[in-house]
Structure 1
């Protein structure tokens, strides 16, 4: 085993461990955070970064294999779909009044919805 292969093995190991830790932190946040909006935040951000680190680690281990391109597709689809799904779930949660308003620091959506309810004649 050459020095470069050894370095790549250690980098892959670091990526896999870092991704596993981030994914674990996302799971703990889902259980421990008080409301759905906080849980959505912890489910989306560290989960995506953790998955990408794991995919990088796997890709470094499988480097000469031509199927590494599939890992890129998985990462791309996750980057595109998870934030959109979290955004939609957050909007639905807000509109169905399942948000703990005492935990919100800034509520920009409430002002927008109040303007929409007022109608065009009161703007």
Structure 2
């Protein structure tokens, strides 16, 4: 039983390390901001998730100590990573006019969804 537990924890560590390496490599080697954004938000999140699962299993199987810290870290990570990626992508779009010109037009009218002008309250158009 102990050998199987060690193999399981080790497998999660290796898988997590692999995904972290792929995410870091993608961040360093991809050509532009939007491509670089994809590697850490997907691969690195999976890598950290696998390492957190390995940590939970280690303390549960070897020390009979269930921990909630890793669950809280996972929840925080999975809630903040997509929001952060979305904000970086929007900032990239707003800063580069050539990117704005390449985007598909919004169905509601001119401009793209994040670039549509909104009337300010109290102003008449």
> One fold, TM greater than 0.5?
yes
> Within 5 Å, which residues of 2 pair with 1:1-123?
4-63=1-60, 64-66=64-66, 68-97=67-96, 107=104, 111-112=112-113, 116-117=116-117
CA distance in 1, matches of 2:105, 2:45: 26
Listed as ranges, the gaps of 5+ residues in structure 1 are none
Q: Aligned pairs, how many? A: 112
After superposition, give the CA deviation of every residue in 1:51-92 in whole Å (9 maximum; x if it has no partner).
0100111111111224x2101100110000011001111101
**Normalization by structure 1: what TM-score?**
0.78
Q: Is the 8 A contact 2:9 2:58 kept in 1?
A: yes
Listed as ranges, the gaps of 5+ residues in structure 2 are 120-125
